[in-house]
Amino acid sequence: MKHLYNNDFIFKKIIIKKIIMQRLILLCLFATLFVNGAMAAADDCYLRQNTSAAIDPAMTQALQPASKGPLKPFPSLTQWYKYNTEACCVSGHDAQIQEHFSGLLSSTCLREFPDLEVYMCLGCHPSQPKFVDVATKTIRVCKSFAELLFKKDKATGLTKYDNCGLKYPGKGFILPSFHFNSELAFLNAYKPKLFEDFTIVIQEADDGYCFKSAAGKLVVSAMTILATVFFAIAMI
């Protein structure tokens, strides 16, 4: 009897596992469709859209490409070669950003501020649609990243840029600690190239929808979710 009872218990446990697995898989698949669908609506790269009036007056309506999301750039990017797998810009934008960034610093300081490089190349970042609101012309920057970009030393009151200086239109090279009192003021004075008419806002919480140095593209994969589900079931 005890043997039969154990078999019955094991059988019921297997059935319960299968039911739980089926329901979790359905739930996860629905979640995948919902998240990826919601992201797709806001997945257009700003620099891959027509952002100005047509040059030819006869063009009453500028043509839009079929895909305005991040694509593999060809020719490859040189300033932001890290985005050569997927980018929200093309080679021409990359060249403009490179020229702009090179003009901000002396040649000996160009590689001293990798976070500033990331910030200036926002337009090429494959996740750019997540933290740029084209409708309101705002760019959301995570507070943690804003503090990396501009933070005064508590003892000296200086910033990391003061040893090099940063070029500012009409003033030449300046020492930022004498001109800006906050991260917000600094970021709005030094906006990413090609986003000069946008406003920078700093977001306290990092919810995945603000710009940061290590920001990655959020892709919810069905295979990833299913692997998680199977692992969870195995632990029951």
Query: What pLDDT digit, counting tens, does each position of 114-131 carry?
Result: 999 999 999 999 999 999
List the alpha helices (DSSP H) in 82-121: 91-104, 114-120
177, 108 in Cβ contact below 8 A? no
Q: Is the pTM higher than 0.85? A: no
pLDDT band at 61 (very low <50, low <70, confident <90, very high): low
Return the higher-pLDDT residue of 56 and 79.
Answer: 79
Ranking 42-51, 53-62, 151-160 by mean pLDDT, the lowest is 53-62
Q: What is the pLDDT of residues 159-208, one digit of tens each?
A: 999 999 999 999 999 999 999 999 999 999 999 999 999 999 999 999 98
Distance, first Cα to last Cα, the chain: 26
Contacts of 77 (CB under 8 A, 6+ apart): 83, 84, 87, 89, 91, 94, 124
Ranking 57-61, 92-96, 194-198 by mean pLDDT, the lowest is 57-61
> How large a percentage of the chain has pLDDT more than 90?
58
* CA gap 43, 18 in Å, rounded: 36
The phi and psi torsions of 166 (rounded to 5 degrees) equal -125, 135
Return the higher-pLDDT residue of 23 and 98.
Answer: 98
Within 10 angstroms of residue 179's Cβ, the number of other Cβ atoms is: 14
Return the higher-pLDDT residue of 224 and 204.
Answer: 204
* CA gap 114, 188 in Å, rounded: 19
Q: What share of the chain is helix, strand, coil (3-state, %, to 5)?
A: 45, 10, 45
Contacts of 110 (CB under 8 A, 6+ apart): 101, 102
